[in-house]
Structure 1
Amino acid sequence: MRILHLAKHENSGAGRAALRLHQGLLKIGANSQALVDEKKSALRSVIKAKLRSARLTELEYLLVNKFLNKRLAEKADFFSINITPSLLLGQIKDLQPDIINLHWVGSEFIRIEELRKLNTPLVWTLQDMWPFTGGCHYNQGCQKYVHSCGNCPQLVGDKQHDLSSVVWQRKADTWKDLNLTVVGPSSWISQCARTSALLKDRRVETISFTLDTDLYRPTEPSVARQVLRLPQDKLLILFGALRATDDYRKGFHLLQPALQKISQSKLSDQIAFVVFGSSKPENPVDLGCDTYYLGHLYDDLSLALAYSAATVMVVPSVQESFGQTASEALACGTPVVAFNATGLMDIVDHCKNGYLATPYEIEDLARGITWVLENSIQNNQLRLNARDKAEKAFALELQAHHYKALYSEILNR
């Protein structure tokens, strides 16, 4: 069985999830390859896609985004219309896959209409909501995808037949011809897919994202702090993501007032705040405590050290298909505080390895962070529970075996 993964990136959050599945499959002896646009690793089984010339690709990307930016509302999330041909079909055919696993491919990687020409069973891992919306990657509470898209709140204007309705119809016309199975990494996004008009008639499975628990493992906090030059005598509150403080969906606007509340509590002299995925701004916000910016951490070792150094990891995202920073933190023995919503509900066990706050209440977010900090002072049980959850639920081979069984079943059927 020859497995081929298609993914736009290799080093984004979605790209890391795709690469981890690929590595897990290799580890259990499967014949797996990945075809990516942006290759970062030295793995020979990860192949750089032969797209159009770099200059033409960049020009098309700029034109598409210039076109979109004129139509996106102020608080719109990422939006992809997927209109440019990829010229990938020949390269895919040469690799002769028996089954293709799609990952994050919606942003000008492989065109919607090209999928029907693959003539291969497809498994689509939901890195976000794009496969069943009219173009948005996260719906921001809009439920139009349940019926059909149009008059999109993330687009400027109020026409029913807008860009989202055009993209939605292109998907509807194409998806009906696909031999397609859908996999959600969390119960939440799987349920969204089942209720969507585009995927409601498809088989939808739930298989958690994975990580290498040998790479992401606890390091003595004092050692991790020494390496990262973080204070030894503070309770460290960690927060991080790509564009950590700029991406509205990551929830920094909710964490900020929660931290200010904690800084006015009895813990005020004991806490410090640590951020990765963002550099120190010219005019940093006063959070009421010392703040340390680690910048962008791209390698697993640096990330594992950051998680191990922390007393608590806070993932205040508004929406996540899964939430890999939470599972990574747990694997390093660090309790996690998040909102009791979307993909994070599958990762954090309330009051066992972290705290799930009422969505999206700042008071309860602050209460959860304080609860973890106070419990961490008293005993080590939260850290032990965190590591135990990661080993039992997110181990690399576990996800790989689930996917391999699914691929075999699809091909045998």
Structure 2
Amino acid sequence: MNIAFVSTLAAGGAAQGAENTFRAFLAAGHAASFLTLEGQAAKGFLPLADAFPSSQGPRPVGRLFRHWQALSDPQALAQGASELFSDAATGLFRLGDAAREALSEADVVNIHWNAGILLSPDFLAALAGKNIVLTLADLGPLTGGCHYHLACRRFEAACGRCPVLRRSGAQDASRRNHGLKRRVYGLLRPSVVALSRWLADEARASSLLGHRPITHLRYTYPLDVFRPLGPDERQAVLRRLGIPPQALVILAGAYGLDCGRKNITALVRAVERLRTSWPGRAVELVTYGYGSPPPAAFPIRHVGFVDNSAMGELYGAADLFVHPAVAEALGNTLCEAQCCGTPVVSFNVGGCPEAYRPGVTGFCVEPVSEDALYAALAGIVANPGQLAPMRRAAREFAMAAFSPQRHVEAYAAWLCAAETARSLAEDPGLGADLADNARQSRSLFAASDWEQSIRRA
């Protein structure tokens, strides 16, 4: 079986999960390619688009996110933990030759985080006759643009009057995008893989994908990279970090620490209370990721962005990994930490409790209460001995739940059962409507490519 894995981005949690699946299929002997908007030669990723101008300034993905950020109201995003509203701003890109060849050779196209690429006439035309599987890492594919929202359920109908848009109304961008996605999914006829039961249930509740075949499969993780450390290895990591060996080490991190949805501030406040309540107990907080941790009344050991190998060492050296997100489809970091034998803590939100075994490999905390988070951590400080059996159980759980071999077997069965996509020509006018909706994106592309996209549509 030849599989083309597609993702807008080459980095971030969803992209890393997609890459893990891609590499597991390669290791199992399948032919596979990985396509992202810009590509990444160092990882062997092919560029989807070849229509970006080579002018100076931010790279296309950077310009894309700036455009998306301008669409929404920052305060409204923060209140709803939405993080992002995305539209069809890259819908006019032209497929690169390598991407077109990879899609042509593929039996199955597995589309992952796809903001900005799904509503492209050229991309959709290349999918005709292919088995299509859509992997959900957040709510974006179910809505007119929001990737998370704590309160809004308009995606169950048709969106519109979006609470996060600067220009909201009955026929706003969320309503238009929702309508276009409905028509696109009608052509693609995708089978759907959600990362958790929670996300699968959200998909079933949506008007866009509720009628499609839906299952839930967690990502796989490289168990040789994310592994427990021996005592000497752990002490070596702690020495590099300047942490005394007797300290209780709490680790937290995200691709971007400034993401409000990840809620790192709640953990910082809880650790401040711990250090005040237990002055005789050394409690250290280590963070990783782009950006800086929130201000604190105590020193936080922030290591910045690290690769998987260094991240595995951090997980293995920590006594506890805490993921205080207020909304999450699953939580890659919860899974990676357990691969390293490190117990985890999260709020009982979204798919987080499905990433571990509450009470066995981690602690599930009442959402979203900082007092409850503090109480859970205080209980661990008071009785750190409870972590030892949890460390063993965490690795055992990870070996069973995140095994690449089992993941490929389950995933392959779903890929083979998917329906084939229909031709763009079967919805007369859709190509032109998609191109018209994406006219605002001309600044991301060379004018000649934009004009060619309109003509093809």
Question: What TM-score do the two structures reach when normalised by structure 2?
Answer: 0.82
Between stretches 343-352 and 367-376, larger displacement belongs to 367-376
Say whether 1:86 aligns with 2:98.
no
Which whole-Å CA distance do the structure 2 matches of 1:38 and 1:233 have between them? 46
Say whether 1:272 aligns with 2:278.
no
1:190-214 C-alpha deviation (Å, 9 max, x unpaired): 1111100100110111011110111
Could you tell me whether the CA contact under 8 Å between 1:3 and 1:97 is conserved in 2? Answer: yes
Say whether 1:182 aligns with 2:167.
no
Residue 290 of structure 1 corresponds to which residue in structure 2?
A: 299
1:371 deviates by 2.8
Cα pair distance change 1:179/1:247, threshold 3 Å: same
1:106-153 C-alpha deviation (Å, 9 max, x unpaired): 1x3343545542112210111211111111111233111111111111
Residue 213 of structure 2 corresponds to which residue in structure 1?
A: 203
Say whether 1:242 aligns with 2:241.
no
Cα pair distance change 1:378/1:324, threshold 3 Å: closer
Higher helix share: 2
Which whole-Å CA distance do the structure 1 matches of 2:290 and 2:317 have between them? 18
**Percent identical:** 26
Between stretches 349-358 and 79-88, larger displacement belongs to 79-88
Give unpaired runs (5+ residues) of structure 1.
Answer: none
Letter in 1 for 2:160: G
Which whole-Å CA distance do the structure 1 matches of 2:63 and 2:397 have between them? 45
SS in 1 for 2:256: coil
Residue 316 of structure 1 corresponds to which residue in structure 2?
A: 324
Letter in 2 for 1:223: A
1:8 deviates by 2.0
- What root-mean-square deviation, in Å, do the aligned CA atoms of Structure 1 and Structure 2 show? 2.5
1:390 deviates by 0.6
1:114-133 map, 5 Å? 114=122, 116-117=124-125, 118-119=127-128, 120-133=130-143
Letter in 1 for 2:328: E
1:84-108 C-alpha deviation (Å, 9 max, x unpaired): 31212764442221110001121x3
Which whole-Å CA distance do the structure 1 matches of 2:378 and 2:355 have between them? 20
Which whole-Å CA distance do the structure 2 matches of 1:34 and 1:237 have between them? 35
Residue 141 of structure 1 corresponds to which residue in structure 2?
A: 151
Say whether 1:231 aligns with 2:241.
no
SS in 1 for 2:338: helix
Residue 261 of structure 1 corresponds to which residue in structure 2?
A: 273
SS in 1 for 2:8: strand
Which whole-Å CA distance do the structure 2 matches of 1:138 and 1:338 have between them? 18
1:4-153 map, 5 Å? 4-40=4-40, 42-44=42-44, 46-55=45-54, 68-75=68-75, 76=77, 77-84=83-90, 85-88=92-95, 91-95=98-102, 96-106=105-115, 108-114=116-122, 116-117=124-125, 118-119=127-128, 120-153=130-163
Say whether 1:388 aligns with 2:407.
no
Which whole-Å CA distance do the structure 1 matches of 2:142 and 2:167 have between them? 22
Which whole-Å CA distance do the structure 2 matches of 1:61 and 1:235 have between them? 39
1:334-349 map, 5 Å? 334-349=342-357
Which whole-Å CA distance do the structure 2 matches of 1:328 and 1:49 have between them? 29
1:65-94 C-alpha deviation (Å, 9 max, x unpaired): 555444311232211112331212764442
Residue 175 of structure 2 corresponds to which residue in structure 1?
A: 165
1:298-354 C-alpha deviation (Å, 9 max, x unpaired): x21100011111111100111112211110111111110001111211112222111
Cα pair distance change 1:176/1:214, threshold 3 Å: same
Which whole-Å CA distance do the structure 2 matches of 1:210 and 1:170 have between them? 32
Between stretches 3-12 and 315-324, larger displacement belongs to 3-12
1:162 deviates by 1.2
Which whole-Å CA distance do the structure 2 matches of 1:64 and 1:411 have between them? 31
Which whole-Å CA distance do the structure 1 matches of 2:154 and 2:183 have between them? 18
Cα pair distance change 1:203/1:411, threshold 3 Å: closer
Could you tell me whether the CA contact under 8 Å between 2:290 and 2:304 is conserved in 1? Answer: yes
Which whole-Å CA distance do the structure 2 matches of 1:202 and 1:286 have between them? 47
Between stretches 97-106 and 81-90, larger displacement belongs to 81-90
SS in 2 for 1:277: strand
Letter in 2 for 1:215: V
Could you tell me whether the CA contact under 8 Å between 1:3 and 1:101 is conserved in 2? Answer: yes
1:388 deviates by 1.0
Between stretches 374-383 and 11-20, larger displacement belongs to 374-383
Cα pair distance change 1:294/1:67, threshold 3 Å: closer
Which whole-Å CA distance do the structure 1 matches of 2:96 and 2:263 have between them? 39
